[in-house]
Structure 1
C-alpha cells in the first residue's frame, strides 16, 4: 500500500515522509513562519503543514464553561483561555498561506494544510494544495470528511482517541466520497504526550487492519518515540516545530527546535538503512571476509605418519582454514597419512 503526493511515493519500501507542523508557533509573525520553513528545510524535513481556520470558523466567542480550556496537563499558555481566545492567537492568517506555500515550494518542499471547515477546503483548493490533513479531533466530523474526500486528493488523517469502529467509519466515508489514497497516523491527543501512553504497536496494526499507509503524529517531547515508530514501520512522521521553545508560541512547549528536528531526520534515515530486509548469511563482502575467524580443526602437535588423531593433537581453534568442526568425531581414531607439523590446518588429504 502506497500513496503519492506530487512526485513523492509514501509507504513501505519508500523513505519516511517527515512533516514539520508549524501550527501557531509563528506567534502571528509572517517572517517567523518563513524562518520556521527555512529551518525545517535545512533540517531535512520533506513537508510543511499549516492549519487553516479562524477562531470563528472553528468555534464561537463564548465564555460559558464548555468553551473554556481547563488546567490538568494542558500547556500553561492554554489554561484558562476560552477556545475563541486560544484560536485567535493560534490561527495562521489565510492571506499568508499562499505566500508560505511558494516559500516552501521554492525550497523543494511540499506544503499542505489541515482544513477545519468547508470554507477552508474551498480556500485550499484555490491554493492547489497537493494533499490534505485531517486533525485527530475532526476525524469523526463526517461532513468535513466528505468535503475533503470529494477533492480526490491524498488524505493523511490522525486518529487521536478514535476507536477502531470510528476509524473504520472515517475511512469508509472518505473512500465512498472519492478518496483513493489514505494514510492514517497513530496519535495521542495529549500535549505533550507521555511515552508510556504511546502504544506504538498500533502503527503496524493500523496498516494491516485498515489497508492504509500508517505513521505517527507525535506530541511527545524529544525524538526517541518518533524514531522508534519508524523501526515499527511508520511511513510518515509528523512533529511540531519551532525556532525556540522559550519564545512563547502557543505550541512551543512540545515542539522540536531546528537542531532537534535535524537530529530526528538523521536518526530516521539511519534507521531506514538499518532496517533493510530479512536476510541470512553474510550481510556484505566485508562481513564475508570475517568468516576467516571462525573455528576449524587444526593439528596442534607434531605427528608422525600412521599416528592416531586424538583430542590431544587435534583441536577446534580459530582461524577457519581447517576442516569444519562438525568432522571432529569422525577424525578422532583415524591415522595421519603423512608427517604433520603443529599448526597445520587439517584436511582430508592428511587423513589416512
Structure 2
C-alpha cells in the first residue's frame, strides 16, 4: 500500500504568503502527496501570559510570548485561498491543521478533504468534536499523550460519527512532540501499539533529525508519514531546525518509495532477478572421470560442483546405480537425459 507523504510546511512561511507558495512548489517538486499548513487566529489560541516553549525561545525569533510569536506567523483567509489554489495548480493536496473553530470553517469553505487534529489539542474536546462534526476524514496526532487520552479523543469523535451513521476514516499518528526529537525517545514501536489498541490506520509524524526514522516507520507499516519542510533550516522561526530542506525532502520521498517496493507481499519465493545468480551459485552433479556409454554410475563418479544447471546434489543417491546411455566427459554436468530409463 502506498504511504501518504505529508510535507509539513507548518509555520515555516514565517507569516509570508510568498514563502508559503514557495514551500508548496518545493513540496510538489519533492514528490510529496500533501503539503500541510497551520491555520489559526492567534488571539483564539494563546493567552497573553502563555510562555513560549524552550525550543520556541531558542528559534522563535525572540518572541516574548506565544501570542506575539503566533501573531507574527498568522496568514489570512485570502492567503489560504491563494495557497489552496496554488496547490491545485501544482497537483499536490492542500491540508492544514486548524487550531480554532473559525479556522475549521475557513478550511472547510476551501474544500479540504481531510482535517488534522494537532497533538496539543487532543484534550480539547470542543475543538475535536467541532472538527468531527464536519464529516470529513480526520488525522489525529498523538504527541505528548497516553493511551487513555487517545481513547478519550477517539470516543469524542465517535460520539458524533456513530449516531449519524457516518463512516469516515480516522488515522492515528504516533509522534514525539520535541523539536528535534531525541532518537532514544521516539519509541517508534508505539505506532504498532496504537494499531493494536484501536484497530485504526496508523502513521508517524517525525521530528527527528534526518530521514531514517521516517523510513523505518514505513517499514513498520505507517500509512502516513509527516515531516517538516523548510526552505532554509537556518531561518528564524520555531520549526525550521527540525525540518528538511527541499533536496533532503526529495531524498526522503525516494527512500520511502524504495522501501515500499522492497516490502513486497510477504510470499517467500525466488525473485526473477535471482535466476542468473541461482544458476551460478548453486551446484549440480558433475562427473569426476570420463564415463563410457553403458557404464553404471558409481558413488565416486560424481561430486557436487557449480553451476546449478543440472541434477541437484540431493539426487545423488538416485543417479548412483543408473546406466549411462552415452559418453560423458570428465568434469561435465550430468542431466537426466544422460541415463537409460531415468
1:154-198 Cα deviation digits (max 9, x unpaired): 101100021112111211211221262101111001011012211
Moved more, 100-109 or 124-133: 124-133
Q: Secondary structure of 1:244's match?
A: coil
Q: Secondary structure of 1:137's match?
A: helix
Supply the distance in 1 between the matched residues of 2:71 and 2:191 (Cα, whole angstroms). 34
1:277, distance to aligned residue in structure 2 (A): 0.7
The count of corresponding residues between Structure 1 and Structure 2 is 332
Q: Structure 1 residues 70 and 276 mapped into 2: Cα distance closer, same or farther (>3 Å)?
A: closer
Return the TM-score normalized by structure 1: 0.87
Supply the distance in 2 between the matched residues of 1:272 and 1:348 (Cα, whole angstroms). 42
Moved more, 260-269 or 288-297: 288-297
Supply the distance in 2 between the matched residues of 1:145 and 1:239 (Cα, whole angstroms). 23
Q: Secondary structure of 1:297's match?
A: strand
The residue aligned with 1:4 is none
Q: Secondary structure of 2:59's match?
A: coil
1:19-45 Cα deviation digits (max 9, x unpaired): 111222112222111111111111111
2:217 to 224, 229, 233: 229
Supply the distance in 2 between the matched residues of 1:349 and 1:87 (Cα, whole angstroms). 82
The residue aligned with 1:9 is none
1:117-147 Cα deviation digits (max 9, x unpaired): 2222222222222110100011121111111
Structure 2 spans left out of the alignment, 5+ residues: none
Q: Secondary structure of 1:21's match?
A: strand
Supply the distance in 1 between the matched residues of 2:103 and 2:18 (Cα, whole angstroms). 23
CA RMSD of aligned residues (A): 2.2
1:51 aligns with 2:38: yes
Return the TM-score normalized by structure 2: 0.89
Structure 1 spans left out of the alignment, 5+ residues: 1-12
Q: Secondary structure of 1:145's match?
A: helix
Supply the distance in 1 between the matched residues of 2:235 and 2:336 (Cα, whole angstroms). 76
1:291 aligns with 2:278: yes
The residue aligned with 2:171 is 183
Supply the distance in 2 between the matched residues of 1:182 and 1:275 (Cα, whole angstroms). 24
1:84 to 67, 91, 116: 67
1:291-338 Cα deviation digits (max 9, x unpaired): 322211111211344465133x31101112332211223444666566
1:127 aligns with 2:110: yes
Supply the distance in 2 between the matched residues of 1:88 and 1:138 (Cα, whole angstroms). 19
The residue aligned with 1:99 is 82
Supply the distance in 2 between the matched residues of 1:205 and 1:225 (Cα, whole angstroms). 17
Residues 194 and 220 in structure 1, CA contact (< 8 A), matched pair in contact too: yes
